[in-house]
């Protein structure tokens, strides 16, 4: 699968991220090692780039969706698609697709990622997918208007939940500045 996102765009995003959180370099080494667009294809092993949206509402609650295949609550996110021209655009698309939010009601709070996480995904024999890693690049959005209308083909449910329900302590800590604004 070919996406318009380039390695140069990824490197720009990683540079902006490491300018803010230089101690994260070792954690994101798999992304730093990518040298071709193959890293954006979901078939690439041992892992590939994904994008997620960390969406806050006006009260500071975070949007979580219940993932069908993994039976867990996560922020909206997923694989890159051919129409994605940037990583923030891919994250926005995922929030719209999974939670049914109106894209006009979502405001990107920072062009640089708020968090990057490398995590394992179990094998999915039904899809013919081996176990692999997701190199998840996460962007921060504020929902300024719009109702949640989770799409049943994507997720079981979508809810505004406390930021403490996220699965990463570094991310929760980084959100504190935004939650109190």
From the list 116, 107, 86, the residue with the least C-alpha distance to 20 is: 116
- Is 50 a domain residue? yes
pLDDT in tens, the chain (181 residues): 678 999 999 999 999 999 999 999 999 999 999 999 999 999 999 999 999 999 999 999 999 999 877 788 999 999 999 999 999 999 999 999 999 999 999 999 999 999 999 999 999 898 899 999 999 999 999 999 888 998 877 788 999 999 999 989 999 999 988 876 5
Residues spanned by the domain of 91: 7-179
pTM above 0.85, yes or no: yes
- Is 140 a domain residue? yes
H-run or E-run covering 66:
strand 62-67
Tokens of residue 6, six digits: 């380039």
Q: What is the CATH number of the domain that holds 40?
A: 3.90.79.10
From the list 93, 111, 24, the residue with the least C-alpha distance to 53 is: 93
Question: In total, how many domains does the chain have?
Answer: 1
- Is the CB of residue 114 less than 8 Å from the CB of residue 140? yes
Tokens of residue 91, six digits: 């994250």
- Is 2 a domain residue? no
Distance CA 121, CA 165 (A): 20
């Amino acid at each position: 699968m070919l996406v318009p996102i380039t390695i140069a765009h990824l490197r720009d995003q990683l540079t902006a991220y490491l300018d803010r959180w230089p101690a994260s370099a070792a954690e994101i080494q798999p992304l730093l090692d990518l040298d071709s667009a193959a890293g954006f294809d979901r078939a690439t092993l041992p892992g590939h780039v994904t994008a997620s949206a960390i969406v806050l509402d006006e009260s500071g609650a975070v949007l979580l969706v219940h993932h069908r295949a993994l039976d867990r609550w996560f922020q909206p996110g997923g694989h890159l698609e051919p129409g994605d021209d940037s990583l923030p655009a891919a994250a926005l698309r995922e929030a719209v697709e999974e939670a049914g939010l109106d894209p006009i009601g979502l405001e990107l709070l920072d062009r640089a990622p708020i968090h990057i996480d490398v995590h394992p995904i179990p094998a999915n024999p039904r899809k013919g997918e081996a176990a692999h890693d997701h190199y998840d690049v996460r962007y921060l959005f504020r929902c300024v208007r719009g109702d949640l209308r989770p799409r049943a083909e994507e997720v079981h449910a979508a809810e505004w939940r406390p930021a403490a329900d996220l699965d990463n302590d570094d991310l929760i800590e980084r959100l504190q500045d935004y939650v109190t604004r």
